[in-house]
Structure 1
């Protein structure tokens, strides 16, 4: 089989494939709409919990009111956000 026949064979095989893949269409990230909703709700609840903890934290409030931060203050901030 020469090169031309080989290329023609590949063209025929491609023509048999009825589902043409459009490269501009991105594959879905989630398996279903339910999975998408569930994951987004989980992340939103996690965000709300972190926001509530940050707003109630006296340590964080004291750090935000401080003008000059030391290395210790930065470490305290990182620990309070964990």
Structure 2
């Protein structure tokens, strides 16, 4: 048994012990299911708002139709995405 296999065996044994005791090394990201749902809904609403703003932006539409962009065009794009 080489060193890598030996270390992997120890990792597997540790994982089995943690599964048996119900412990996990990573704490949950969200405090509760309600918090998770609230945060995800907030981010989705923010995404929808940005999408709507991008679709209605005339300057962005004009930039997308251009074949070659200059530095000024890039700056306009960045300003419109803020």
1:27 is aligned to: 27
Between structure 1 and structure 2, the one with the greater Rg is 1
DSSP 3-state at the match of 2:26 = coil
2:50 is aligned to: 50
* Structure 2 gaps, min length 5: 1-20
DSSP 3-state at the match of 1:28 = coil
The TM-score with structure 2 as length reference comes to: 0.70
* 1:15-69 Cα deviation digits (max 9, x unpaired): xxxxx5745x521000000000000000000000000000010000000000010
* Structure 1 gaps, min length 5: 1-19
Output the CA distance in 2 between the equivalents of 1:46 and 1:56: 16
The TM-score with structure 1 as length reference comes to: 0.70
Structure 1 moving runs of 4+ over 3 Å: 20-23
